[in-house]
Amino acid sequence: MRKKIIHILNTGTYSGAENVAITIVKNMRLQYNYDFIYVSLEGDIRNVCENNDIIFAPIKRMTISEVRRIIKQYKPDIIHAHDFTASVICANSVFRIPVISHLHNNSPWLKKYCFYSFAYLLSCLNINKILMVSKSILNEYVFGNLIRNKSIIISNPIDIYSIQQKAKLGKRKHSVNPVYDIIFLGRLSAPKNPQRFIEIISQVKENYPDIKVAMIGIGPLEDECINLIKEKKMDFNISLLGFMKNPYGILADAKMLCITSEWEGFGLVAVEALSLGIPVLATPVGGLPDIINSNCGALCKNNDQFVVEICKLLYDSVYWHEKSKNAFIQAQHLHNIQKYIAIINEIYCRDILERSYN
């Protein structure tokens, strides 16, 4: 008999955590005896699910009553909740259904004794397993030692060959796309700090007045970014491309990717760039130090370090080619899709087995 797994998220968009959930579903339903339902708020994610033949069950809000309505309708064997809010709500909505909490980022409140950190700790009493995309989440959580026995550090599912194929498709579809020197790829929101990226490009422009940059993504800081670009007189240099279903064709033609995040979970976009031979410059937060090294990019602690490294990559083609070659090599080391899916299956099987004995 096929088992039912619900993946539940407190968003309606398509970004990092959503990509992980979709990847798990697409790979596991072909190899194992599971049926999946994707549960979230309404939004662009509905189209993503429909395009991938995944059952989409919308909820009005992330509340206990809504989650219980979904449970009553689908009768899942396991609930796989992504990030903190969904984990807390699901843990308080179920009885005798295993809950997996999958944490994709290390929000600042993790480091504090506050309502949110206490709420998650109490919810862990009804959570069977906690998956964390980097060890920094466990190390920075103020109650990390109390949940260590339930926790597993597991990166993100990485299929570099799928990313490379998407890049080829993207190039064919948009064969007349302009070529950019630098790419920013992520939500225009506080964790990604897009304003800092614009400030860095403003400094680089002093040496490279014709530099071409693309910012791919949408978010609550979009208007602020538009105003800052105008204030810095960089309309000619920086293009805001909005959300792109397949940004990999543009990324593959760029010289580098810059990540200016204040905090991160894993940092999947860095691996995606490395898969395409694109050097990555990033802040040393979350899982990024485990992905990026000086051979394939650079970890930059301040704006000056970003500017120096950007200028060197733009100026020195030999230096860039060496970093690009090593980016491919690093991506091959990080490729893990089959191993990752096997680990998730093992966790599912263990939780279902434990439930049958209770």
Q: Nearest-CA neighbor of 254 among 300, 301, 214, 290?
A: 214
Render pLDDT for 110-127 as a digit per residue (tens, 0 to 9). Answer: 999 999 999 999 999 999
The domain locations on the chain are: 3-157+337-357, 160-334
d(CA 12, CA 43): 4
- 10 Å CB burial of residue 182 (0-12, 13-18, 19+) is buried
Residue 356 in this model has a pLDDT that exceeds 60: no
Render pLDDT for 82-92 as a digit per residue (tens, 0 to 9). Answer: 999 999 999 99
Per-residue pLDDT band for 357 (boundaries 50, 70, 90) equals very low
d(CA 331, CA 74): 38
What pLDDT score does 308 carry? 97
**Beta strands 213-216 and 238-242, pairing class:** parallel
Render pLDDT for 174-214 as a digit per residue (tens, 0 to 9). Answer: 666 789 999 999 999 999 999 999 999 999 999 999 999 99
CA neighbours within 13 Å on the CB side: how many for 131? 25
What pLDDT score does 350 carry? 82
d(CA 351, CA 77): 9
**In 3-state terms, what secondary structure has residue 89?**
helix
Render pLDDT for 324-348 as a digit per residue (tens, 0 to 9). Answer: 999 999 999 999 999 999 999 999 9
Does domain 160-334 fall under CATH 3.40.47.10? My reply is: no
Which CATH number is 3-157+337-357 given? 3.40.50.2000
Per-residue pLDDT band for 275 (boundaries 50, 70, 90) equals very high
Residue 312 near residue 255 (C-beta atoms within 8 A): no
Within 8 A by CB and 6+ apart from 103, the residues are: 83, 84, 87, 130, 131, 132, 133, 137, 265
Per-residue pLDDT band for 355 (boundaries 50, 70, 90) equals low
Per-residue pLDDT band for 1 (boundaries 50, 70, 90) equals confident
Which helix (H) or strand (E) segment is 100 a member of?
Answer: strand 99-103
Contacts of 88-92 spanning 24+ positions with Cβ under 8 A:
88/119, 88/120, 88/123, 89/10, 89/62, 89/63, 89/64, 90/8, 91/123, 91/124, 91/125, 91/126, 91/127, 92/64, 92/123, 92/126
Q: Do the domains 160-334 and 3-157+337-357 match in fold?
A: yes
d(CA 255, CA 51): 31
Render pLDDT for 11-63 as a digit per residue (tens, 0 to 9). Answer: 998 888 999 999 999 999 988 999 999 999 999 999 999 999 999 999 999 99
Q: Running DSSP on this structure, what letter comes out for residue 96?
A: S
Q: Nearest-CA neighbor of 100 among 42, 44, 20?
A: 20
